[in-house]
Amino acid sequence: MLRQPTTCFSFANTASQARAYAVAAGLSTTTKVPSVATIARRQLKALPKLSVQVPKKAGGPYAIFNKEVRATDPSLGKGTSLSAASRVIAERWRGLSPAEKKTYEDRATQQKEAYKRQYEQYLAKRTPQDVILEQKIGYLQSVINPNKPSRKVPAAADAPKKPLSSYLLFSTEAQAAGPERQRQLIGQVLQGAMTQQVKTIAAAWNGLSAEQKSKYQQQAANALSAYKTQKAQYDSTNQIAETRKAVNKTLQTAAKSLQPKPKKKKVLKLSTTGPRRIVKKKKDVAPKKKTVAVKAKKVVKKTAAPKKKVGVKGAAKKAISATKKAGKAIRVVGKVAGKEVVKKVKKVVKA
**Domain locations in the chain as residue ranges:** 292-350
Handedness of CA 334, 336, 340, 343 (dihedral sign): positive
- What's the number of CA atoms in the CB half-sphere (13 Å) around residue 277? 3
Task: Return the pLDDT at 31.
Answer: 64
Neighbour tally for 156: CB within 10 Å: 18
Task: Return the pLDDT at 76.
Answer: 83
Q: Which residues of the chain have pLDDT under 50?
A: 1-12, 292-301, 310
Task: Return the pLDDT at 260.
Answer: 73
CB 292 within 8 A of CB 333: yes
How far is residue 267's CA from residue 245's CA, in Å, rounded to a whole number? Answer: 40
How big is the CA angle at 142 (ends 114 and 47), to the nearest 5 degrees?
Answer: 75
- List, for residues 5-49, the tens digit of each pLDDT value: 433 334 445 566 666 766 676 666 666 667 888 889 999 999 999
Task: Return the pLDDT at 296.
Answer: 46
What single DSSP character describes residue 238?
T
How far is residue 211's CA from residue 310's CA, in Å, rounded to a whole number? Answer: 150
Report field, pTM of the whole predicted structure over 0.85: no
How far is residue 203's CA from residue 205's CA, in Å, rounded to a whole number? Answer: 5
CA distances from 88 to 10, 96, 165, 187, 311 (A): 35, 13, 51, 56, 142
Strand, coil or helix: 151: coil
How big is the CA angle at 220 (ends 214 and 223), to the nearest 5 degrees?
Answer: 140
CB 177 within 8 A of CB 169: no
Task: Return the pLDDT at 112.
Answer: 95
Task: Return the pLDDT at 9.
Answer: 38
CB 29 within 8 A of CB 19: yes
CB 82 within 8 A of CB 179: no
Task: Return the pLDDT at 36.
Answer: 86
CB 133 within 8 A of CB 46: no
How far is residue 326's CA from residue 329's CA, in Å, rounded to a whole number? Answer: 5
Neighbour tally for 50: CB within 10 Å: 16
